[in-house]
Amino acid sequence: MSLLYVAAGVLHFLAPKPFERIVPRELPAPRALVYLSGLAEIALGVGVLVPRTRRRSAKGLVLLLLAVFPANVNMAVRDAGGNPLPERAEGLYDAALWLRLPLQGLLIAWAWWYARADPEDAE
């Protein structure tokens, strides 16, 4: 779990533009929000490695995943991410955007399991 979030967080800094595109246009300062969410992913991803902070960090990940869910909805509804695939694969890309939404639920469940588990059980 840690590697997933740390890697995703680092990507927010290495390639912020794709993340900026999916920030709902109603929100201000997309670049700042991308960096803030990336920093949170890195910090919380590292936090789940440490038994003392695992539960709090996992709860933080649940909250973070809920907070960024509107960006995923925005990406699916407004096609805000921009399709990087050839035109013939447009349907596949659109399906992936919608399948990503329930995947977010699975990630929340996984983080919640970490939040509820004893530090030794979650490893």
**Three-state SS for 69?**
helix
> So what's the pLDDT on residue 96?
79
Question: pTM (2 decimals)?
Answer: 0.82
Would you say residue 123 has pLDDT above 90? no
Listed range (13-17, 47-51, 78-82, 102-106) with the worst mean pLDDT = 78-82
Q: According to the model, what pLDDT value does residue 82 have?
A: 61
Q: Is 58 helix (H, G, I), strand (E, B) or coil?
A: helix
Q: Taking residues 86-94, what's their average pLDDT?
A: 65
Angle between helices 54-78 and 30-47 (to 10 degrees): 140
Q: Using CA atoms, how far apart are residues 99 and 3, in angstroms rounded to an integer?
A: 22
Confirm if 90 and 83 have CB atoms less than 8 A apart. yes
